[in-house]
Chain A
C-alpha cells in the first residue's frame, strides 16, 4: 500500500502562479504519515488531488492498493436535524457497528451522543467528524487539521488509538504542529514553496505508538530537520 506523485504541475484556475512545479514524492507503506508545510504551500490542494476532487493537473498520482481514499477537514458539519448518535448509527456500515462504540469511548464522545452537532464545542465537533470517517471503509484517510481545537492529551490518545486500531491502513495527517508530527508520524512529507527544489522532502518521524519509550534527543533532531526542510 503506497502512493507516489510524479512530476505534478498545477496552477489555480485564474492564477498565473504555480502551486506545484514538477513535484515528485511518495509514501511507501501503510501507517500514520504527515503532510507538513507552511500555510499556502498547497497541502490541502495536494490532499484534494490525491482524494480525486481536483483533477485538472498535469503529472501523475499513482495509488497502489488504495481503492478507497477519503479526505476530511476540520470545518465539516453534521446535518442539523439529527443527534450525533442517530447520525453515526445511520452512516456506520454494519461491519463497523462494534467499532463505533469503541471509538466513541476512546474519543471521549459519550456525553455528546444525544446532542446536536451545533451544541458541541469545536473540539468535540472535530472528534465527532473524524469518528464518522474512521467508521467508513477506506484505505487512505487524509485528515486535514482534523484534530484542531482538541487538547493535547486527548489528541495523543486519539492518534494512538487510530494507530492501534488501523495498523494496516494509510493516514495522511495535515498539521502545523511540528512536535506532534515528529512524534507520531512514520513518514513526514514536507511540502515547500514551488521555487525550492525539490518541492517535497520525505523525512522519517518517530512513529511513537505509546508502547516504546520516546527518545527526546531523536525527537528534537526530527523537529529540527522538519523546520529546516520547510
Chain B
C-alpha cells in the first residue's frame, strides 16, 4: 500500500517537474525564474534535513487538528442526526458555514490568537472539520430501517444503539471520509503557516517565496508529498484494522 501511494506521488511530482523543465528550456527562462538541475540538487542537499523537520512539525499539527475535527464532528454529528429542531438547526448551520471559505477567516484567528500553535491547530481543524461533519451527519441521520425496525417496534432503541447501527453499516464510507479529510488537515495547516505562522513547512515556503527561490519550494513540495502519503497510508492501515476488528466482534 505504502509503495503504491509513494509511487503514485512520485509519478505526479516528476511529471510536474518535467513540465516545469520543459517550460524553462523551451522558453529559455533564466535560472532566477526556474532554477536548473544543479541548483535544485544543491538546495535539496542543503535544506533537506531542515525542511524535513519543518514538514514533520506541520504534520504533527495536521494530525492533532485532524483528530480534533474527528472528535468534534462525531459529537456534533450525533446531535445533528436528530429529527427535532436542534438536529435541523445543526444540519442547516453546517451546510451554510461549510459553504464559506474558512481560509478567509484565518487572518481574524491570527489577529485574535497570534501566530503560535493554537492558530495553526485551529485553522487545520476548521478546514477539515466541515467536510467531515457533513459526511458524518449524512451517515448518522440516514435510518437503516431494515435493522432499526425491530428495535423501534420492541421499544429497545436508544441513541447509542442507533448511532452504532448507522456507523457500523457505513463504516467503509466513514473510513473513506476520514482518510480524505486528512489531506485537508495537511492543506489547512500549511495554509495557516503560509499566512502568518512562525514555524512549519508553510512558513518555510513563505520565506522561500519572498526570496523567489523556486528550488527550495520544490524541495518542500517533495517532502510534503512524501510525508502526507505516509500519513494517508497509516490511516488506511488503521481503517483496515478497525474494519477487520468490527468484522470479527
Contact status A76-B168, CB under 8 Å: no
A80-B169, A81-B168, A82-B249 given as contacts; is B156 within 8 A of A75 (CB)? no
Bound CA–CA A195/B169 (angstroms): 42
A36, CB-defined interface residue at 8 Å: no
Contact size range, A: 10 to 19
A77, CB-defined interface residue at 8 Å: yes
A76-B146, A79-B147 given as contacts; is B168 within 8 A of A91 (CB)? no
B154, CB-defined interface residue at 8 Å: yes
Task: Enumerate chain A residues within 8 angstroms of B146, measured Cβ to Cβ.
Answer: 75-77
B234, CB-defined interface residue at 8 Å: no
A81-B168, A91-B156, A136-B154 given as contacts; is B246 within 8 A of A76 (CB)? no
B46, CB-defined interface residue at 8 Å: no
Bound CA–CA A75/B147 (angstroms): 9
A3, CB-defined interface residue at 8 Å: no
A71, CB-defined interface residue at 8 Å: yes
B172, CB-defined interface residue at 8 Å: no
Contact status A81-B153, CB under 8 Å: no
Task: Enumerate chain B residues within 8 angstroms of A133, measured Cβ to Cβ.
Answer: 150
Contact status A71-B153, CB under 8 Å: yes
Bound CA–CA A72/B63 (angstroms): 46
Residue with the highest number of chain B CB atoms closer than 10 Å, among A71, A79, A91, A136 = A79
Bound CA–CA A133/B150 (angstroms): 8
Contact status A76-B153, CB under 8 Å: no
Contact status B150-A76, CB under 8 Å: yes
> Which residues 30-70 in A have Cβ within 8 Å of B in the complex?
51, 53, 70
B173, CB-defined interface residue at 8 Å: no
Nearest-Cβ distance from residue A79 to partner chain B, whole angstroms: 6
Contact status A78-B147, CB under 8 Å: yes
Closest-by-CB residue of B relative to A132 is B150
Task: Enumerate chain A residues within 8 angstroms of B221, measured Cβ to Cβ.
Answer: none
Task: Enumerate chain A residues within 8 angstroms of B168, measured Cβ to Cβ.
Answer: 79-81
Nearest-Cβ distance from residue A174 to partner chain B, whole angstroms: 15
Interface residues of A, Cβ cutoff 8 Å to B? 51, 53, 70-73, 75-82, 91, 129, 132-133, 136
List 21 A-B pairs, Cβ < 8 Å.
A51-B153, A53-B153, A70-B153, A70-B154, A71-B153, A72-B149, A72-B150, A73-B149, A76-B150, A77-B146, A77-B147, A78-B147, A79-B165, A80-B168, A81-B164, A81-B168, A81-B246, A82-B249, A91-B156, A133-B150, A136-B154
7 closest A-B pairs by beta carbon, nearest first, are A81-B249, A77-B146, A77-B147, A76-B146, A75-B146, A136-B154, A70-B153
Taking A72-B149, A76-B147, A81-B164 as known contacts, 7 extra A-B pairs with beta carbons closer than 8 A to each other, sorted by chain A number, are A75-B146, A76-B146, A79-B164, A79-B165, A91-B150, A91-B154, A132-B150
